[in-house]
Amino acid sequence: MRLEIDNFPVEEMQFGDETSYNDGLLTINKEEALEVVKKDEHITEADIVFARPGEDKRIVPVKEAVEPRYKEDEGAVFPGVTDDVESVGSGKTKALKNCSVLGVGKHWGSFGDGLIDMSGEGAKYTYFSGLNNICLVADTDEEFERHEQQKKNHAIRWATHRLAKYLATAVKDLEAEEESVEEFELAPITKRDDKTSDLPSVVYVMQPQSQMEEMGYNDLVYGWDMNHVVPTFMHPNEILDGAMISGSFMPCSSKWATYDFQNCPTIKKLYEQHGETINFLGVIMSNLNVNLEEKERSAIFVAQIAKSLGADGAILTEEGYGNPDADFIGCFEALEDAGVKTVGLTNECTGRDGKSQPLVALDDKADAIVSTGNVSALIELPPMETVIGELEALARDGLAGGWPDDDELGSSVKEDGSIIMENNSMFCGDQIIGWSTKTMKEF
């Protein structure tokens, strides 16, 4: 399976008469773009606002991030979401690079929403502060969940995907510079050359969010709710090419946005090393479960698949913390018991003082874990000149990491627009998918 991604870097954005791309400049016909957004009758208000790196702008509540993509021959960009269900991961895909489409609530936030600062102290906490962001700021009439802490945010999230697909049509007839083309190809496992086959074999085990038994909150694979999926072997190209879609439920610093799946740095790094230092087998897409029996069953499946593939080692990563830690450690144990040397990648929940147990479940076999940060760490940020969305949502709407009042700290949102919050509210801040901006500090 061979995938070619032709990248067109976005250096500047503007509105104009025609949606087009020319030498780094993305021009958007706002009226036409909003028509695409408003195809869902539940969207009552919508606007598009730009947020560039270094600008004095704060974006909240952010629900989703998507890289604009166009599939050659009008193939599926997000199968099962914006398009019919069809195979992805091969052929040619065109991408608007150095930018993302952000789905932003106009009034009401959710447990899984987050915050992005485009400059200042807050910018260092999230990868998305360094991108040219096209913010879809929208409100809906989804009254049934307006006051719920956990929201599906279906209308806004799906509109974000439709908008991303529409924007990428700007490059559908263009050819990318040769140096901007990425190629991803793996030979079938049983048909690789001797040099590659003799290298240590590594599999990447991903545990995307899938704990909600009610549909509509979890990550999707080909439009299918991950709560209904057992561990499955996937080609890494499928993940890079739109097969995986982010869900709405997960404390935000621990989330994987759709953008993260599309650009998964761990997959890309494994590709770089394939045939040089490792034999990259592919991806085991697992799940996160509610009850213990389901967790144990999934761990058995993961270990069996890894062993059957001939994996010598595995990188294991979870989307989330708390209850998912039991899945993470259970899978760790099962892989090690099967003789697969495993390295974990996760954040931790050690409390505001950093002194609590980092994971809900632990085991001696999980002796190699890379931490991407503490979800409970307090972050204080000064006011920003411009707020995209509504700042009060951080304190009012139950965002993980924000609060209306605290005996010692008061409200997360101060009268002057400054804020105090837990890292939990930083949009995809811990980047567990493999590109955390954080480093370790030794005391």
pTM above 0.85, yes or no: yes
Q: How would residue 374 be classed by pLDDT, with cut points 50, 70 and 90?
A: very high
203, 277, 282 from 307: Cα distances, Å: 10, 20, 13
Give tens-digit pLDDT for 86-102: 999 999 999 999 999 99
Angle of helix 154-168 relative to helix 30-37, nearest 10 degrees, comes to: 140
Backbone angles phi, psi at 124, to 5 degrees: -75, -10
Task: Outline where 142-274 has alpha helix (H).
Answer: 154-168, 194-197, 236-240, 258-262, 265-273
- For residue 431, being part of any structural domain is answered with no
Please report which confidence band the pLDDT of residue 443 belongs to, taking 50, 70 and 90 as the band edges. low
Where does 319-359 show beta strands of DSSP type E? Answer: 341-348
pLDDT tens, position by position, 110-142: 999 999 999 999 999 999 999 999 999 999 999
Cβ atoms < 10 Å from Cβ of 8: 25
Those residues whose C-beta lies under 8 Å from the C-beta of residue 317, and which sit 6 or more positions away, are: 204, 205, 206, 207, 266, 344, 345, 346, 432, 433, 434
The single residue listed with the structure tokens 């991108």 is 131
Q: Residue 64 has what pLDDT?
A: 98
Tens of pLDDT, residues 63-79: 999 999 999 988 999 99
pLDDT above 70: percentage of residues in the chain: 100
Q: Judge whether 209 and 288 are in contact, CB under 8 Å.
A: yes
- The total of other beta-carbon atoms located within 10 Å of residue 121's CB is 11
**Mean pLDDT (whole number) for 383-406:** 96
What does the alpha-carbon distance between residue 65 and residue 116 come to, in Å, rounded to a whole number?
11
Contact call for residues 137 and 47 (beta carbons, < 8 A): yes
The predicted pLDDT at position 149 comes to 84
pLDDT in tens, 308-362: 999 999 999 999 999 999 999 999 999 999 999 999 999 999 999 888 999 989 9
441 lies in a domain? no
Q: Is residue 158 part of a domain?
A: yes
Q: What 3-state DSSP class applies to 313? A: strand
Residue with tokens 């979800």: 375
pLDDT of residue 412: 98
Is 90 exceeded by the pLDDT of residue 440?
no
Beta bridge partners of 13: 26
- Residue 74 within a domain: yes
Is residue 263 situated within a structural domain?
yes
- Domain presence at residue 56: yes
pLDDT reading at 438 higher than 90: no
What domain count does the chain have?
A: 1
**Please, which residues have CB within 8 angstroms of residue 143's CB and are 6 or more apart in sequence?**
none
Residue 439 inside a domain? The answer is no
Parent domain of 163: 2-425
Distance in angstroms (rounded) separating the CA atoms of residues 295 and 273:
31
Judged by DSSP in three states, 57 sits in strand
Tell me, yes or no, whether 443 lies in a domain. no
Mean pLDDT score across all residues of the chain: 95
Per-residue pLDDT at 182: 98
